[in-house]
Structure 1
Amino acid sequence: MSERYYRDTLVHVDLESIHHNYKMIGSKHPDKTFIAVVKADSYGLGSDKVAHYLSERGVGYFAVATLDEAIDLRMHGIKDKILVLGIIRPEDINKAIQHRIAITAQGIEWVKEAKAHVDDKYEKEVWIHIKVNTGMNRYGTKNIEEIKEMIEEINTFERFIYEGIFSHLTSADMDNESTEMEMSAFKNVIGQVETPEYVHIQNSAGALCYDGDFCNAMRIGISLYGYYPSPFVESTSSIDLKPAIDLTAKVAAVHNLKSGESVSYGRTYTAESDETIATLPIGYADGFIRARTGSKVEINGHQCPVVGRVCMDSVMVKVPADVKVGDEAYLINKNPDSPQSMDIYSDYTETIPYESLTLLSKRIPRYYQGEDVHFVYNEVLK
């Protein structure tokens, strides 16, 4: 870990806001196991940092997308249960066994192939969660007879433990009938097969908007980090989430332009009068993409438009004449009412907070703050 960094651009991660969101969502479903989704490096916020903080505060189950991500958490000292939500190659089953990782089974052929690859190097069991396809048509099966056969194959093999069964909601963030249909389909499957320790279908939107009383676990991703999956969910839910990040950069240079002078590649922006242009040390290689031209950042309380083309490593903004080198700009503000809120930031490029978060490059240092926690992690100088 390195706290050194030599460019004034930071992602500020409020760990206590993440903890708050865990408590608020957990209080709505007190009898359910909270599975904290920390895939994609905790949506760009640092999976091992987030997982350690939450583990110390009661979270005992984490979920990731890949076996690589799960092993990485183990290598960083996470000892709690970890579930891989994606599908691993059957021939990699022994790696899951070695690192004590729960994995997803998508069909009977996968179960049989995985069994065939188990060797005696690690005399441990591996936990299996069966994936039910209730409409996503991405992974899993909806064939009840196949699910029963999978359970039989798992239960009759001494190295496999049938730990869970789950599905994924396609449209819980929308006002339609799909979610009720999918939950009903999953409940129908559950009623016809052996029930394992964990039954789960609710994602963030599902947990915020639905009860799902036939499930005893839930998987919370985007809302753990303080963001509602959609405006519909925000308007429907009574849970108050706290956004977890700010994105800041300090002014690195200031230029006084005369009328007719231009800015950046291609001279796409030309000053119509005398103007002041500030350069910020962030660009599309950091996740501040080229489509953000025209969006606004906040400097000293002023809303300042991005002008000219966004560069790989820097961006120029039109600012008041009194802005100087070292002044701080907010590109994303954790205040949900700010013009730089994550929702407004994402809407500008017609995307969603999920993508905006995961686009933030690892070359931007993360500044972590929380209860008795205060440090910077720089991936580049690790």
Structure 2
Amino acid sequence: MSEKYYRHTKVDVDLEALQHNYKAIQYLHPAKTFIAVIKANAYGLGSVTVAEYMSEIGVEFFAVATLDEAIELRMHGIREKILVMGVIRPEDINKAIQHRIAVTAPNLEWITSAKSHVKEKYDKEVWVHIKVNSGMNRLGTSDTDEISRMIEEIESFDRFIYEGIFSHFSSADVDSAVNDREYSKFKEITGKVRRPEYVHIQNSPGALRVVDDYCDALRVGISLYGYYTSPFIKDISRVELKPSVKLSTKVMDMHVLNEGEGLSYGLEYEAVQDEKIATLPIGYADGLSRSMTGYRVKLEDGTECLIAGKICMDSCMISVPDDTAVGDKVIIISNDTYSSQSMEAYSEYAGTISYESLVRISRRVPRVYHAAGNGHVNNEVLK
């Protein structure tokens, strides 16, 4: 990746915000292992950079969704523990062994199949975390007898290590009794089988909502990057998260739209009077969805400006004050929680959630990292 870029659109990533969020959440759970979830390229922020930084400040366990993501981290020198939370193909078990990666077992059949594919080429063990279905109904099993047999199969095989058992809250960010019901079910199931080194169910909202000592670890993703999963969690949380992302660009062209003239594809936006239009070098290929037409971005002086007309693949247009000039900075997503351009406000306008807004920001937008007064750039386009 290059540390150079040749466009005005960029994502600023505040790594010190990640440190703040990590320490604040860990403070609630001082005895638990903190598993930093860096799947989907660390929610679009750059998994290798995030892993390198988090390992420097003390994180010793990461989680990803796929084996490919885990191998990428290993190939870039990440030596900490890595758990693949998704289910890998049993025939790929040797890759997990080769790269010293923990895997998820969803059922007995998977364990039996994975064992049959283990080769003697790699004289190492692989760590296995059993996935419990406590209500999400996505992966895993709730059959205690099956889980007991899974543990027996793991422990009777000298290449497998029974390291963890876990689940995932389906409704931790909702003000309902569902979360307590699922947690009780998880405790009931795991209480009937042998307890491994790591028992974990708390995701980001679970970590902010449930503070007890039943689990040994917690998995934090979106909140590590500074975002609450719902207004409910924000209201009840004792942790003040610090947003880590700012998406900005600069005006690249200016022109006057005369009264009655249309703008952009289809000319659906029509000027009711003469107005000044600024063109920004950001479009839906960068992650600014076409649904964001009508959203208000912000100039550095605080003036909010309407995105006018359809958003193009590589650009969009905004209606601006007369004194706006080429080169003026424009904030699309602010790292200020209370801004009308906050990640939450932006995501609400887009009809989605912060998770999706983050991962939508495409690879061609350079990531500029800031930490302790120093920074560097990752530009995946220029490799």
Common fold: TM-score over 0.5: yes
Q: Which amino acid aligns with 2:333?
A: I
Query: Which SS does the other structure have where 2:13 is aligned?
Result: strand
Give the match for residue 31 of structure 1.
Answer: 31
Residue of structure 2 in register with 1:236 after alignment = 236
Deviation at 1:256, TM superposition (A): 1.0
Question: Counterpart of 1:100 in structure 2: which amino acid?
Answer: R
CA distance in 1, matches of 2:49, 2:230: 26
Residues 66 and 86 of structure 1 are in contact (CA less than 8 Å); yes or no, is this contact kept in structure 2? Answer: yes
Deviations, residues 209-241 of structure 1 (Å, cap 9, x unaligned): 112421010000000000001000000101010
Q: In structure 2, how many angstroms separate the alpha carbons of the residues matched to 1:372 and 1:133? A: 45
Residue in 1 that maps onto 2:340: 339
Q: CA deviation at 1:103?
A: 0.4
Please state how far the C-alpha of 1:280 moved relative to its aligned partner: 0.5
- 1:57 matched to 2:61? The reply is no
Q: How far does the alpha carbon of each residue in 1:78-100 deviate from its partner, in whole angstroms, 9 at most, with x for none?
A: 00000000000000000000000
CA distance in 2, matches of 1:212, 1:126: 29
2:369 is paired with a residue whose SS is: strand
Aligned to 1:12: 12
Give the corresponding residue for 1:365: 366
1:292 is aligned to: 292
Distance 2:112 2:215 in 1: 27
**Is contact 1:15–1:369 with CA below 8 Å preserved after alignment?**
yes
Q: Which residue in the other structure is 2:143 paired with? A: 143
Partner of 1:197: 197
Structure 1, residues 167-205: CA drift from partner, whole Å, max 9, x if none? 000000000001101111111112110010000000010
**Partner residue of 1:255?**
255
Q: Which amino acid in 2 is paired with 1:244?
A: S
Query: What is the rounded CA distance, in whole Å, between the counterparts of 1:188 and 1:301 in structure 2?
Result: 53
Partner secondary structure for residue 379 of structure 1 = coil
Pair 1:304–1:372, CA change in 2 (3 A): closer
Deviation of 1:355 after TM superposition, in Å, equals 0.5
Counterpart residue number, 1:273: 273
Give the letter for the 1:58 counterpart.
Answer: G
How far apart in 2 are the matches of 1:29 and 1:373? 30
Distance 1:255 1:169 in 2: 51
Question: Secondary structure of 2:266's partner?
Answer: helix
Q: Is the 8 A contact 1:202 1:212 kept in 2?
A: no
**Where does the alignment leave 5 or more consecutive residues of structure 2 unmatched?**
none
Identity among equivalent positions (%) equals 59
Cα distance in 2 for partners of 1:355, 1:191 equals: 35
Equivalences for residues 306-345 of structure 1 within 5 A:
306-345=307-346
The runs of 4+ residues in structure 1 deviating greater than 3 Å are none
Which residue number corresponds to residue 43 of structure 1?
43
Aligned-pair distance for 1:308?
A: 0.3
Structure 1 position 373, deviation (Å) = 3.5
Partner secondary structure for residue 381 of structure 2 = helix
Q: Which residue of 2 aligns with 1:90?
A: 90
2: distance between equivalents of 1:185 and 1:214? 13
Output the aligned Cα RMSD.
0.7
**Partner residue in 2 for 1:162:** 162
**Structure 2 Cα separation of the partners of residues 323 and 372 of structure 1:** 30
Q: Which amino acid aligns with 2:229?
A: P
**Aligned partners of 2:373, 2:339: CA distance in 1, in Å?**
27
What is the CA–CA distance in structure 2 between the aligned matches of 1:150 and 1:326, rounded to whole Å? 61
Deviation at 1:372, TM superposition (A): 5.5
User: Amino acid of the residue matched to residue 354 of structure 1?
Assistant: Y
Q: Which residues of structure 1 form unaligned runs of 5+?
A: none
Render the CA deviation track for 1:136-187: whole Å, top value 9, x for unaligned: 1111000000000000000000000000000000000000001101111111
**C-alpha distance in 1 between matches for 2:280 and 2:76:** 33
Q: Which moved more, 1:21-30 or 1:256-265?
A: 256-265
- TM-score, normalising length from structure 2? 0.99
Whole-Å separation in 1 of the counterparts to 2:258 and 2:89: 61
Query: SS at the partner of 1:380?
Result: coil
Q: How many pairs align?
A: 382
State the alpha-carbon separation in 2 of the partners of residues 370 and 102 from structure 1.
Answer: 30
Displacement of 1:371 after TM fit? Answer: 2.3
Alpha-carbon distance in 2 for matches of 1:128, 1:108? 12
Aligned 8 A contact 1:252 1:326 in 2: yes
TM-score, normalization by structure 1:
0.99
